[in-house]
Amino acid sequence: MKIKKILKRLLQLHPKSEPSTLVRIKRLLKNLNSPENKIDNVVQVVGTNGKHSFCVTLREIFEKAGYTCNLNISPSLRKFNERYYFSGKYISDEKLYNLLVEVEKINNNQSISFHEIITAAWILHASRNKSNINIIEAGALFRLDSSNVFQKNICSVIMPIGMDHLDFLKKGTIDEIIYEKCSCLLGGSKIFISKQKSNVLEKIKKNISRNSSEKFIFGKDYDYEKNTNGFIYEDKMGKMNLPLPNLSGDFQISNVSTAIATARNLDQFKIAESHIRESITKVRSQGRLQSVTRGKLRKYVSKNNQIIIDGAHNPLAAYAVNEYLKTLNAGRKIFMILGMMANKEHKEFIQTFKDKIHSVIALNIPNQINFIKKEKLSKIAQSCGIPSKAEDSIEKALKNIARENKNAIILCTGSLYFAAEILNLN
């Protein structure tokens, strides 16, 4: 409760009319004695999708090799502490509360965004809790994101880029998104570029062509090929025949391969094939094609109903999830339970599933303000040619589907916030 109260106070420090800027967080960091300059071995991760899967896989690889990791992700899924990982464990409630109080006091009620002040708090704690590697995930974009405050790093990672967060942009084009995410990547280190759509890759390469960092590009400097037993990873150091990662969806092999490429090509670390092999079979990414096999929600469905939760919220992620659905039993109908934030590309997202989804039940997202109302979301689904209706709760939605089809696959998706609420209910 104490943490909830202070987070609520921090949310009120930033007038929404103020533009995006790095001025506020740089002012706060200076007042905190510049902790960003005391952190070594930073890995900065940008992109539209796959950032979380990359980050947790890279952490698993390094920890399996005996190194310590600090990790900052955004957003958290079920508990705020998930954003703050230091040397093998998430921060305790007591330490988190004391840290936020300290930073709030130094900020002295000055204007600052919520994301800026909680990032500054993570940076401060990371500077005091030294680890061998610090992995930090960018927020919505990067150029003016609060993670863009370091003077040097050991590498930048560009995960798949697509259309999202258009409300932060002037034109809302893919060129503008690439500029925001890639134009300010640090030089003099290394840049890893994950698997991208061909037109996006060419635009990324053009954008960073003058960046002095060494580039490692998927399909050129590293690659993978799936086989019956797992996948073959290959780079300039050779091939590895590896088991499938403990993550659902073929797209996750690509995310894992980028983590492997990063780990193997950071020369200051010694990563063996055994470290990679063991770590990828243990990596977990909550809310990403996660099957619900136990918990309270199971009582609303039959034993044959499969519940899958995924926080996909943009067209690129929808495409990846839809490709996964194609690998499931073709004889089973797939029903979607959908909740989305108001600032997303709703129609483009839903249309992706047109040929795979039997019907949609639209819900409001609990404990959020800026969601699209369920009635409007349902009408958008109908305009895509998918039968749809609105419902009052996840429990009622699950009951309705189970009553109609006791063998159905139930996909709950549309937002990480929605996925979090469902997992918390369970």
Supply the pLDDT for residue 17.
Answer: 60
pLDDT digits (tens, 9 = 90+) for 243-266: 999 998 889 999 999 999 999 999
Segment holding 119, helix H or strand E: helix 114-128
Domains parsed from the chain with CATH numbers: 2-280 (3.40.1190.10), 290-425 (3.90.190.20)
Q: Choose among 69, 78, 65, 51: nearest CA to 317.
A: 51
Q: Are 328 and 334 in contact (CB under 8 A)?
A: yes
Report residue 396 CA to chain centroid gap: 29
DSSP 8-state assignment for residue 333: -
DSSP 8-state assignment for residue 218: B
User: Could you tell me the pLDDT band of residue 141, with boundaries at 50, 70 and 90?
Assistant: confident
User: Residue range 95-109: average pLDDT?
Assistant: 96
User: Could you tell me the pLDDT band of residue 168, with boundaries at 50, 70 and 90?
Assistant: low
